[in-house]
Chain A
Amino acid sequence: MATHSFILNGKQVSVDAEDDVRLLWVLRDLLGVTGPKYGCGLSVCKACTSHINGKAFNPCSVPVGDIKPSDEITTIEGLPATVGKDLHPMQQAWLDIDVAQCGYCQPGQIMAAVALVKEAKAAGREITDADLDGIRNVCRCGTYPRIREAIRQGAANMPA
C-alpha cells in the first residue's frame, strides 16, 4: 500500500491504495467521486471517460501508481470549473438537445466530446462526420443521433 497524490478537479488529493488498483476504483470506491461510471473495466465502453491533463482517458485502465502528483485529473464533476462556469458549453448543449435517457453513459460521453472538440480545435479544424463516427462510447439507450447534434452545438460554443 502506498500513498498516491494527484490533482483531482482542481484540488490536490492523496489516497492510500495498492499501486495496481485502477484509478476508476480509487475515484469511485475510495474517494467517493462517482461521476465516472463503470461499464466494462476493459477500456471498451468509455463510460468512465475523464481527463488527464486536459485529454480524454479511461481510468478503468490506468493503475493509480502511474499517476504523478502533478497530474491533473478532471472528472465530469470538475468539468464546469475548467471554463469557470456552472456548466460547460458541452453540458449546456446536452441539456438544450435533451440528450440523456437513463444518463448512465452521459458523463463519459460529455468528457469524450469535450476532448474530441479540443483536439479538433487545436488542429484548427471543425468536427467532421468521421470524427463523430469514431467515438467509441457505448450508449445502450441509443441517444447517438442527439449526441452528434449536441457535440456540434457544444463545439460552436467552446473557446477556440
Chain B
Amino acid sequence: MVGYLIAAPTVVAAARFGLVTEQAKAAGLPTVQPVDHYDLSDILTEAALPTMGLLKVTVNPDGSASFDLPRAEVGQGITTACAMTIADEMELPVEKVHVTLADARPELVWNQLTGGSNSMHALYEPLRVAAAVARGQLVQAAADELDVLASQLSVKAGVITAPGGRTLSFADLAQKAAVTKTTAVTPKLKASSAQTVVGSDQRRIDALEAVTGRKQFAMDLQVPNALPTMLCRPPTINGHAVSVQNLADVKAMPGVTDVAIVEHNQFVQGGVAVRAKTFGQCIDAVRALKVTWAPGPVDGKSADDVAADLKKNELPLTPKLPGTTIEEVFTFHFRPGDPLETNCAVADVRSGSAEIWSSLKSPIWAKEQIATSLGIPPDKTTVHVTQGGGSFGRHLFCDAAFEAAWISKQLGKPVKLMWHRTDNFRHGRVHPMTTSRVRITHAGGNVLSFDQRHTCVATDFTQGIGDLLTSMDQSLPKQNSLQFSQTVFMLTANVPYNFGAVTQLLNEIYDFNTFNTSSVRNVYSPNVTTATELMVDRLAQSMGKDPLALRREFVRDDRLAAVLEKAASAGSWGRPMPAGTAQGIAIHKEYKGASACLVEIDCRPATVNRKVRDAYTGPRVTKVTHVVDVGLPINPLGIRAQIMGGIMDGIAQVLSYGLHLEKGAYLEGSWDNAFYTRQWNVPPEVNVIVMPPTTGKAGGVGEFGVGTSMAAVACAYGRATGKTPTSFPINHDGPLGFEPYPTSPPIPQSPTNGLENVS
C-alpha cells in the first residue's frame, strides 16, 4: 500500500493500491458457483483500481479538506461516506471535509462509473490511504516546526498538539507542509479500533441543503438563456416524428421560442422539440403539435405477445433426476425504474464547444459520445455531474444529456431539457419483462438439484457498464447486449443454499434497444431471488419442514446463517398470526454482503379493501425486520436508510408497481397509475439491523435491500393466502386501477383547480 504526496501549493495526497479477493466457503451436499469467488463487485473494483492514484485529497489553506468525487450522488449517501472516511483518517470533523462531484475526467477511465453499488467498495481503502498520507505530512511538518518527534504529537479535530500543550492547526500547516516534488510514501493507517467516525451514525452532509430547498438539481441551475425545453414524443415506444402539420402555429404560441423535429437515432429517441419561456408553455406547445409519426419496433405488441416470445426462448432444464420434483414458472411484468426527478439536463452547445449539466453515472462515456456525435473536440466538451434526484440505475444512461446536447446544437441555443412525468413512464427505461422457471429435486432429505431458467427482454448495458465489461474481457464483442447481460447475470445470480447441482441460466429476447430498458436497481437479483425463495418455501412444504428450519439447514454461508438467525429472533419468527396474515423470510448474498428479511403481511379483506382516495391499497405489509451484514458498515444510519428504501421497492414490486404494455405503449402515465409504495402502503414497523463489522471491507449498500425484501414480501404473501404467487406485481392481471391518459397528445395538461384542494 503506497500513497503519494503531490507537488501542489498545499498538502495534496493520493493512493495506489493492490487488489484483495475473498474466499467463499461450501459444505454439506455442496453447491459451488463461480460467483462465489469473483463477482460484479470484484470486476468493478478491479477496473477502477489502475487510476485510483489520480484521486486526490486536498488540504485547504483554512485547514479543511476537499475531495472531488468521481461518482454520482443520487441519494445513496456516498458523499457522506467519503467525507466520513477522510475525516476519520485525517482526524478532522466531518463537516470540515468538502465532497464535490467531479466533472467527467476521461483520464480516470473506469474509475468514474457509478454502478453495482460499488462506490465505497472501490473507494474506501484508497481514500484512507490518501487521507493518511495527508495527515502524516501535516504531522511531520508540525514536528519540524515544533522541533519534536512526530511520534510525540497527537492529532484531534484538525489540531496537532505537542507534549506540553503547544498546538498547530491544519490551517497553520496546509501550505508549509506542501511538497514541490511528488513523492511516494507508505502511510500508517489508523487501526480500525481507533476509528471513531467510520462505523458511527452520521447524518448526510447535504441534509441541511435538502430540507431548506437549497440543494440544487440540474433543473435548479440558472444557466444563462437555457430556456425550458421538452420533446413531444410518439404515441408508441420508439416511434419517430416524420412531419409536423402546424409548426408555424405552435411557434406562434405564447412564450414559445423554437419548435423543431429531432431525428430518431442511436443517441436520441427524437420527436419534436419545443423551447419556451416556461415549462408550462412547453407543455401547452407539445399538446398542440399535430405530428405524423412513424411506427416504433413494438407497435401492436402487448404483454401477452412478449410473454409468448419469452416462453418460446426459454432454455431447456437439465434432465430430471430421480426424486421428488417441484417446478414453477414466475412472470415478472415490465416495471418502471425511474426516480422522482424526471430525466433532465442542461446543455449549451456552440460551434466548436459544448457544456452539459446532468446527473450522470457514466459521465466519461457521455462526454465521449456527445463530443463524437456532435463533432466537437473532446477537450472542448465539458460535462458537469449534478446532484441527482434519485437514480435506481437510471442515470447509467445519458439519454437526457444526449437529447439536450442535440437539441441545443440544432437550435443553436442553450436549453434546459426536462421530460414530462408521463413521458418518463411511457418512454423511459424500464425493468425488462422476465420469466423465471425453477425446478428443484430432492430425495432422502437432501436437495439434489436446483435449476433456474431466467428469460428476459434484453437489458440494455451498452452505456458505461458494457464498455467496462468489454475492456475487462477482450473476448466480449462490443455492443452486444446479450454478452454483457450474460456477464452481469453470471457475476450476480447465486443460490445461497447447498442444493447439490445448481444451474442458473439466462436467455434474452429482442435487441437491446427494442424496448427502452436499463439495469434497474439490483438488476436481475430481485426477480432471481424472489423466484428462488418462493421455491424454497415450496421445498420446505414438500419436505414437511418449517421455512426457517429448512433455510437454516441448507444455507451455505456463515454470514448468511448469522443474519438469518438475527432476523428470525429480532422479527419473532413463528409467532402466532391470525388467519389471512403471515410471515415470510428470505436471504440473499451480493455486493460482498449478506442480508435476511422477515416480513409480516396482512391479506385480510378488511385490509385489502381499505379505501384511500384515488389510491391502490391492497394487502399491507405490517412489519419488516431486515438484517444486513455489509462487511464493514461505514455509516449505519445511511445504510439503514438505503435498506429502508430497498424495502419500499420490494413491497411495491410484489404488490403493485408494474407497467401494462398494450399495443406498443405502456398505459401508466403518473404515480396514481403506477403504484409505487405510498404512505398508505408503508409498514407501521420497519426495523433495519446493521451487523457489526465482519470482513473489514465495505460492501455495497444502495441496491442491497431490494431483492431480499421483494422475496420476503412474496413469501409472506404466499403463506398468508396459501397460494404461491406466480405473476408480479400481483395486481397486474386484475382490473386496471385507473383511467389511462390518451397517447395523443402524448402528455396530459396540468389541472387548473388547485385552489379547490387547499388543505
A interface residues, Cβ below 8 angstroms from B:
1, 17-18, 20-26, 28-30, 32, 34-45, 47, 52, 55-63, 66, 75-77, 80, 87, 91, 94-95, 98-107, 110, 115-116, 119, 129, 132-148
Contacts and interface: CB of A to CB of B under 8 A. Distances in A.
Given A103-B389, A140-B390, A77 B212 contact: yes
Given A37-B389, A134-B679, A140-B676, A102 B341 contact: yes
Contact of B211 (A44, A110, A138, A140): A110
Most chain B beta carbons < 10 A, residue from A59, A87, A106, A140: A140
Contacts of A100: 75, 204, 206-207, 210-211
10 tightest Cβ-Cβ pairs between the two chains A and B:
A35-B213, A102-B75, A142-B648, A103-B210, A104-B389, A61-B754, A142-B645, A62-B754, A76-B213, A101-B75
Contacts of B338: 140
Contacts of A22: 280, 750, 752, 754
A25 B754 CA distance: 14
Interface of B: 74-77, 203-204, 206-217, 219-220, 222, 228, 254-255, 277-281, 283-284, 338-342, 387-392, 418, 420-421, 612, 637-638, 641-642, 644-649, 670-672, 676-680, 682-684, 686, 748, 750-755, 757-759
A142 B752 contact: no
B644 A20 contact: no
A138 B342 CA distance: 13
A137 B494 CA distance: 36
B644 A38 contact: no
A37 B390 CA distance: 13
Contact of A44 (B387, B392, B672, B755): B672
B281 A57 contact: no
26 contacts: A26-B278, A28-B219, A30-B278, A37-B389, A38-B279, A42-B751, A43-B754, A45-B671, A52-B755, A59-B754, A62-B754, A62-B755, A77-B213, A95-B211, A98-B207, A103-B210, A103-B211, A115-B759, A119-B759, A134-B612, A136-B678, A138-B671, A141-B645, A144-B677, A145-B682, A146-B644
A23 B203 CA distance: 34
Contacts of B217: 37, 104
A138 B210 contact: no
B617 to A, nearest CB: 9
Contacts of B207: 94-95, 98-100, 103
Given A18-B254, A25-B278, A140 B752 contact: no
A34 to B, nearest CB: 4
B341 A138 contact: no
A47 B679 CA distance: 14
A104 B751 CA distance: 22
A66 B755 contact: yes
Contact of B679 (A32, A102, A106, A144): A144
Given A104-B341, A148-B682, A44 B677 contact: no
Nearest to A57: B758
A47 B754 CA distance: 14
Nearest to B652: A142
B358 to A, nearest CB: 14
A135 B679 contact: yes
Contacts of B420: 41
Contacts of B752: 20, 22, 61-63, 66
A139 B682 CA distance: 11
A81 to B, nearest CB: 12
A38 B670 contact: no
Given A42-B672, A102-B391, A107-B213, 14 more contacts: A18-B254, A22-B754, A25-B228, A26-B278, A34-B216, A40-B671, A45-B421, A59-B754, A61-B752, A87-B212, A103-B210, A132-B679, A138-B676, A142-B645
Nearest to A100: B210
A47 B645 CA distance: 18
Given A138-B678, A141-B75, A103 B209 contact: yes
Given A66-B755, A102-B74, A115-B759, A133 B671 contact: no
Given A22-B280, A55-B759, A138-B678, A94 B340 contact: no
Given A141-B390, A144-B677, A101 B77 contact: yes
A23 to B, nearest CB: 8
B680 A133 contact: yes
Contacts of B390: 101-102, 104, 140-141
A145 B208 CA distance: 19
